[in-house]
Chains A and B, each alone.
Chain A
Amino acid sequence: MSEFAIEFKDVVKSFAKKNGDRQMILDHVNFSIPIGKTTVIAGGSGQGKSVTLKLILGLMPVDSGRIFVGGVDVTGVRGRELEQLRTRFGVLFQGSALFDSLSVYENIALPLRERTSKSEQEIRAQVDTILQQLELTGHDEKFPAQLSGGMRKRVGLARALQLKPEIMLFDEPTTGLDPVMTQDIYKLFARTQEQVGYTAVIVSHDIPKVFNLADEVIVLNNGKVDVFSSPEAMQWSREPHIVEFVENTMGEIYQSHLVEQ
Chain B
Amino acid sequence: MFAQDVGGMQRNSLEKLGDSGLYVLEDIGRMGLYLLLALKGIFRRPFRFAEFMRQMHFIGAGSMMVIFCTAASTGMVLGLQGYYSLNKFGAEGMLGSAVSLTLIMELGPVLTAIMVAGRAGSAMCAELGIMRISEQIDALECMAVDPFRYLISPKFLAALVSIPLLTALFDVVGIAGGYVAGVHLMGVNPGSYLEGMRTSVTNHDLRLGMVKSFVFALLVVWICTGRGYFIYKIRGAGFGAQSVSRMTTQAVVYSSIAVLIFDYLLTAVLL
Contacts and interface: CB of A to CB of B under 8 A. Distances in A.
Contact of B144 (A20, A59, A84, A93): A84
- What bracket does the count of chain A residues touching chain B fall in? 20 to 34
Contact of B136 (A20, A87, A99): A99
A97 B136 contact: yes
Contact of B143 (A20, A59, A98, A114): A114
- What bracket does the count of chain B residues touching chain A fall in? 10 to 19
Given A97-B134, A114-B150, A91 B144 contact: no
Q: What is the predominant secondary structure among interface residues of chain B facing chain A?
A: helix
B268 interface: no
B145 interface: yes
Contact of B135 (A84, A97, A159): A97
A198 interface: no
Contacts of A57: 141-142
Q: What is the predominant secondary structure among interface residues of chain A facing chain B?
A: loop
B141 A115 contact: no
A190 interface: no
A99 B151 CA distance: 12
A87 B135 CA distance: 18
A190 B135 CA distance: 25
A94 interface: yes
Nearest to B131: A99
Contacts of A91: 139, 142
Interface string A72-113: 000000000001101101010111011110000000001100
Contacts of B131: 99
A163 B139 contact: no
A114 B145 contact: yes
Nearest to B149: A114
Interface in B101-153: 131, 134-136, 138-139, 141-146, 150
A110 B144 contact: no
Query: Which of B134, B135, B142, B146 is packed against the most chain A CB atoms within 10 Å?
Result: B142
B237 to A, nearest CB: 15
Contacts of B144: 83-84, 86-87, 115
Given A83-B144, A84-B144, A115-B145, A59 B138 contact: yes
Contacts of B135: 93-95, 97
A58 B131 CA distance: 19
A114 to B, nearest CB: 5
B137 to A, nearest CB: 9
A93 B131 CA distance: 13
B138 A93 contact: yes
Query: Which of B15, B135, B150 is packed against the most chain A CB atoms within 10 Å?
Result: B135
Query: Which of A83, A86, A87, A97 is packed against the most chain B CB atoms within 10 Å?
Result: A97
Given A83-B146, A86-B144, A97-B138, 16 more contacts: A59-B142, A84-B144, A86-B141, A86-B142, A91-B142, A93-B138, A94-B135, A95-B134, A97-B139, A98-B139, A99-B136, A100-B134, A100-B136, A111-B145, A114-B143, A114-B150
Instruction: Give 3 closest A-B pairs by Cβ, nearest first.
Output: A97-B139, A97-B135, A86-B144
26 contacts: A20-B15, A20-B19, A59-B138, A59-B141, A59-B142, A83-B144, A83-B146, A86-B142, A86-B143, A93-B138, A93-B139, A94-B135, A97-B134, A97-B135, A97-B136, A97-B138, A98-B139, A99-B131, A99-B136, A100-B136, A110-B143, A110-B145, A111-B143, A114-B145, A115-B145, A163-B143
Interface of B: 15, 19, 131, 134-136, 138-139, 141-146, 150
Interface of A: 20, 57, 59, 83-84, 86-87, 89, 91, 93-95, 97-100, 110-111, 114-115, 159, 163
